[in-house]
Chain A
């Protein structure tokens, strides 16, 4: 075995692939070879480091030097200065990792300091395509323990005692689900993983599959042993090609090593896994719809009960958990239920992964103990709002969640506190909005999404959300009427109560929460026909600032509606609002920036 004096870790998550990390890796290979040190330095393509904003990311150990936004040209500098001469290239380090000329270890950087990584523990640390690396980090040890030392009922007991709840959004106690499936009658049972991560702005499942795919293989096998199943399905979005590829490699490697297949670890236990690709339907994240889709049908939900634990894939008892839920399982087995249940709040144990995005400095993926406040996430980890703008709201739970305003920013995050605020945990998307975002526009955006993705089976969701969207469209176009807010509230209540599945039952949440916290914005749109954030095009006015107008007349020439009056060189120009079509041509045309929209 070769001994290496340094490790170069290059992030290979989707974020960094998009910023060009493959080029960086090629360049490193080439450069290490040119300098004849390819046998001294180990180059590793890892999963997501989490800080996508700073990508492509390169970390060099043993120093833990955190290089960010690396270009191919920078590679030679790192190789020549750092790897050959031992001098860390300060100018290329992530800005927060240098303090008064001292270089901070990566764990001390603001973004990572408050995090606790359980589900993401191997992401960005190991090569996801090398089973040896996973095994070196205690991989498959939990499966070995379970198969050789524990009875299935004991495994379920550990999961129950840990207090783990489903990370896909609903927050149902995982141990109970396992127990129901174990107790269900059936000659054949199935294990399924929900990796149909459809919430816009959420990418935690993808990052786990890309960065640590073996953890899912191991956890599914553990679940198979606990509930008495020998077959598992992973349902993954087709939009995640890298995740699918790495998961397939993991399954193949595990099979080759005898960690999947027959008689695993010499025990009387067989287990195998198959990947099923989604085909682009958000509703397939709902469990009964997902089961229909695995069976090759239209992905439409059906009424529950019977729950999948009794009647799931091909009518057989099925245990369905989310990717992130499974990712915590091996650690719970290894460290014990008590260790896990000490983390978090009274009713929400452990950690949760969030995808932080929108108007925030450090966009990316983070994992925090339950009970961390929203403020800590946004300001300490996220680094605050860019360009000195004011925080307005944070949206959690995707199209099923709601917007949380400044006044509740000190709320500790857990399943119940978010529901109390009219939002929900959801799968963990967290989108930050600043003063420039119009809350009605955001509510309209989510409704547009749910209308598009509603499967059409039940009328409250199919027709009701459409009517709500029409009202919101009217409001943002300046055609809002008094009484619209009340109508929205009434429709919301009815849709929530009468829809068949989670999609419809939660679809009104973005509207209800924005009405609750930002009613004044709705009122100003409806009554004053004004969008205070300057987003809703139809409600804007283009005006000439008299002091800046140089009377050149260019705007009047460019105006397609001929609604700008003035006399060249003599009289300041002005726009006739009643004829203006709000095309913005005058703003672009004015060389003195004297025309603004307000």
Chain B
């Protein structure tokens, strides 16, 4: 896991400024800007919110309210590999809960948390719409479907 000071680099803030300039004139710019910020920094900590607040001329409290409302925005950096196990209905009835439990045990990390070495973040995600392949999990951009418990150690070990 990157430390917060490794994330708050000048380059990243420059990119943030570009994103802000791009959206500044658009009505309702805050969420598009936050989406970009989340991509650039990997999270939206207070320092980043402050710059957005000044540039968009919005109170910090309002920005903090929006950041904490939506699950796509996080205040802290996440692990190098984000393992998302879909807990949508189709996956749930096909025993996705057992898959989450197994991964949690293997990487010794609770759901919603990042492993102590900063390598993995385990998340129970909302339906990703790949119900035809239930149960499904994603590791960053990679998708694995039609899972059984036996597949899990191999997948986790790949990363």
Contacts and interface: CB of A to CB of B under 8 A. Distances in A.
Contact of A279 (B31, B62, B94, B127): B31
A120 to B, nearest CB: 15
Nearest to B132: A52
Contacts of A186: none
B143 A17 contact: yes
Given A18-B145, A277-B35, A437-B93, A296 B133 contact: no
Interface stretch (A200-208, A332-340, A475-483): A200-208
A280 B38 CA distance: 13
A299 B130 contact: no
Interface in A521-567: none
A498 to B, nearest CB: 23
A415 interface: no
Interface stretch (B1-9, B10-18, B65-73): B65-73
B89 A358 contact: yes
Nearest to B84: A239
A281 B71 contact: yes
Contacts of B133: 15, 18-19, 52, 55, 363
Nearest to A295: B28
Nearest to B27: A314
A157 B43 CA distance: 49
Interface in B61-102: 62, 65-66, 69-73, 87-90, 92-94
B128 interface: yes
A279 B70 contact: yes
Nearest to A294: B28
B131 A203 contact: yes
Contact of A363 (B70, B88, B131): B131
Interface in B52-67: 62, 65-66
A17 B130 CA distance: 9
Nearest to B134: A357
A277 B71 contact: no
Nearest to A456: B69
A184 interface: no
A504 interface: no
A357 B92 CA distance: 11
Given A238-B35, A293-B31, A298-B65, A429 B129 contact: no
Contacts of B62: 297
A52 B145 CA distance: 11
A455 B28 CA distance: 20
B129 A239 contact: yes
Contact of B89 (A200, A238, A299): A200
Interface in B123-159: 125-134, 136, 143-145
B31 A201 contact: no
A298 B66 contact: yes
A433 B70 contact: no
Nearest to A298: B69
B131 A52 contact: yes
Nearest to A240: B129
Nearest to B26: A274
Interface in A272-316: 276-282, 293-300, 314
Nearest to A445: B92
A239 B29 contact: no
A18 B143 contact: yes
A18 B133 CA distance: 8
B126 A198 contact: yes
Given A357-B90, A359-B94, A445-B89, A296 B66 contact: yes
A545 to B, nearest CB: 23
A197 B72 CA distance: 15
Interface in A185-231: 197-203, 206
A398 interface: yes
Interface residues of A, number: 53
B137 to A, nearest CB: 10
A395 to B, nearest CB: 7
B32 interface: yes
Contacts of A455: 69
A594 interface: no
Nearest to A365: B132
Nearest to A15: B132
A239 B126 contact: yes
A395 B89 contact: yes
Contacts of A370: none
Nearest to A199: B127
B48 interface: no
A53 interface: yes
Q: Which of B29, B69, B70, B89: most chain A Cβ within 10 A? A: B89
A97 interface: no
B132 A279 contact: no
Interface string A233-247: 000001110000000
A433 B131 CA distance: 14
Contacts of A432: 93
A442 interface: yes
Given A294-B28, A357-B131, A363 B90 contact: yes
A359 B91 CA distance: 10
Given A276-B28, A431-B89, A201 B70 contact: no
B52 to A, nearest CB: 11
A201 B66 contact: no
B35 A279 contact: yes
Given A357-B89, A358-B94, A431-B89, A280 B131 contact: no
A14 interface: yes
A131 B29 CA distance: 30
Nearest to A358: B93
Contacts of B88: 200-201
Interface string B111-131: 000000000000001111111
Given A239-B128, A282-B126, A19 B145 contact: yes
A285 to B, nearest CB: 12
9 contacts: A19-B133, A52-B132, A53-B132, A198-B126, A296-B30, A358-B93, A358-B134, A431-B90, A431-B93
Given A52-B133, A55-B132, 19 more contacts: A14-B129, A15-B131, A18-B133, A52-B130, A199-B127, A201-B127, A202-B129, A203-B130, A276-B28, A277-B32, A280-B71, A280-B126, A296-B28, A357-B131, A359-B93, A363-B90, A363-B133, A431-B90, A455-B69
Closest 5 CB pairs of A and B: A52-B132, A357-B90, A200-B88, A279-B70, A203-B129
